[in-house]
Structure 1
Amino acid sequence: MTNNLHLVWHKSLVSKEERRHKNGHHSFILWFTGLSASGKSTIANAVEKKLFESNIRSYVLDGDNIRHGLNKDLGFSEEDRNENIRRIGEVAKLFVDSGIVVLSAFISPFREDRDRVRGLLEEHEFIEVYVKCPIEECEKRDPKGLYKKARSGQIKQFTGVDSPYEEPFSPEVTIESHCFSVEECTEQIIDYLKTKRFI
């Protein structure tokens, strides 16, 4: 373990508030959580496109993409999943500090992990978006064939099959992706952000 006794935080000469002022908008995390194939990444990218078109600086952190680089050394044990979310939380916090809106699309199955990320941030900087979709519908979609592999035993510890998914108790936004189109889900999130005057 790294010894942090000799590390000193170096304070920036440019504040988060100054970056937000220059960008012309609030910075925060939209944390998309839900089962595999619930539509997290699709909706997150659709929301980002809307934000981009409105000149709001934003970036999507996608679970699969992050595991190609930053977290390629992690597996899918509970410990590795915890570390996966811890790292993403720290990266997302840096985006918020830089004045950018970050859209984080991760299954993030455990409430404790999501709450830990929330605890890294200030009030109104963590917006939990629960992309709610019945597992039966997710299995019908199964664009990557993961549920099929999990049911056949090729994938172990798969969320919703042989590893739990803990639904959020009180997310800021709940999107029922099996009831609404991607466009409608996107508008629900944009409307929420406008109502809160975050954008």
Structure 2
Amino acid sequence: MKILHLDAAITGENSVSRKLTADITAKLQARNPAASVTYRDLNEGVPAIDGAWFEAVRLAPASPSAEQQKLIGISDAYLKEVQDADVLVIGSPVYNFGITAQLKNWLDQIARAGVSFRYTESGPEGLLTGKRAIIAYTAAGTPLGSDLDFASGYLRHMLGFMGITEVEFVAADRLAMDRDAGMARAQQALDQIAA
């Protein structure tokens, strides 16, 4: 088993999502001692896509410049980590009712027509199939699945669009209202995750 462990919280050691992703990864490793883990802290910086990225990565010139090769290499590295993984463990704290900018940038880097998805006569088809994603969803006040939660549905959709349809959530939500209850809900969900 190959695990890709991603964190996106800006709160460092105080992050609940980082604690949960570590717990999820540890549980998977305990059940699969030979599992390998690739770790990436998205808070260290994921470049946003822009016009230069589009020219380099999406338009794929036959003779890319050195700067274009750098942009292609960054995107390819993110994508290869996903392609190589069997399980993605993703920390997704909710900021302003949505996912973090870093996590959005990462999704933009890996959502590539012809590589992670393709368009067919019957509609889009995800190409990153056979993978599982476990999302550590944390929020101070936004309940998972509520009308105010624009994070979990978006994540489920984007991952599914690229072929990752087995998506589970370990949610510690409403932490500002009752932290102990939120953590208890997360622990219960974590206990139910099949390793």
TM value normalised by structure 2: 0.43
TM value normalised by structure 1: 0.42
Task: Please state which structure has a larger fraction of its residues in strand.
Answer: 2
Q: Relative contact order, CA 8 A, sep 6+: which one is greater?
A: 1
